[in-house]
Structure 1
Amino acid sequence: MAIEFAIIFPLFLLIFYAIVSYAICFAVMFTLHGLSSDAARAVLSIERTVLFSSDTTAVEQEITDVVNHSWLSSDVISGCVDGDGKRYEIIEGNDLLKVCLEVRLTDADGDSSNVLALPRLSLLGITVPHLDTLSSTSSIRL
């Protein structure tokens, strides 16, 4: 009986951990999607002349307020527009606002303060979860 348990237990552990870790990833993904769409809608409350000015503090403040009211720590949520960490982009020709939020699951640069604490489990040549980042983008016409 102990031999069968020793053989089957790692597989059950991997399946259980996969269910739990991917459930956390889905919860974070749904939260990011909700935050990005709520942030895009919150920016609509800003005056149109302020939106298209060079002063971006009002737009950034609205997005930050929405992010700060999340169950996720605002330290782990970053921007992903153009790869430079910006949380939003206004495309003036189309009057379009694009909000992009991202959560990193892995620690590439050695700083673990801005990473979601979700350890990886490697067992039998399988790594769970195999995701590096979760991101969501929402666009709204101004």
Structure 2
Amino acid sequence: MRLKIAGIRPSVSGKRTQTGSTAIEFALIFPAFFAIIYAIVSYGMAFLILQSLTYAGEDALRAALGTDCAAAICTAEELEPIVAQQVRDSLSWLSTSIVNDSIAGDDFFSCDANMLCTVRLSVPPVLGGLTLPLVGQVPKLPAQLVGNASLRM
């Protein structure tokens, strides 16, 4: 007399095989692999944006240095439109709302009495974190990604 056990069936060669074990193993391993891939993509995007903000700030200060009024004494109010336009041009691959938010702050562009000009661009991360049980938030990113650049005129 043969007993049939649920989930186990004999194969053609006479050995028993288990059905569904692959699906169970996949269900256990998939969340870990997904979290790792998501963290890699999120960190990559955060570093890309951070480096782009820093480059845009440096590029904007170089554009301000090349203006006619840079040879003479310029005010921050004269240079700010030039800097803002160059930031928009450098970050044209990003969404316009993100770029406009980054240059909307009060501390976006400043020059001190010694003509040390600073550009500070900040945006929130594009991809938010993913909260996993027992792990917490993956990845842990700051609330604002900030790129700074400064140049003495």
Shorter chain as normaliser: what TM range?
0.7 to 0.9
The equivalent residue for 1:17 is 38
Q: Map of 1:63-102 to 2, 5 A cutoff?
A: 63-69=83-89, 70=91, 71-77=93-99, 78-79=102-103, 85-92=106-113, 94-102=114-122
2:151 equivalent to 1:140:
yes
Matched-pair contact (CA < 8 Å) for 2:117–2:151: yes
The equivalent residue for 1:121 is 130
Larger radius of gyration: 2
**C-alpha RMSD over aligned residues:** 2.0
4+ residue stretches of structure 1 with deviation over 3 A?
none
2:48 equivalent to 1:27:
yes
CA displacement, residues 92-112 of structure 1 (integer Å, 9 cap, x when unaligned)? 1x321111111113xxxxxxx
* TM-score, length of structure 2 as denominator length: 0.71
Percent of matched pairs sharing the same residue = 35
- What runs of 5+ residues in structure 2 fail to find an aligned partner? 1-21
Aligned residue-pair number: 124
* TM-score, length of structure 1 as denominator length: 0.76
CA displacement, residues 66-89 of structure 1 (integer Å, 9 cap, x when unaligned)? 122121124213249xxx533111
The equivalent residue for 2:80 is 60
- What runs of 5+ residues in structure 1 fail to find an aligned partner? 106-115
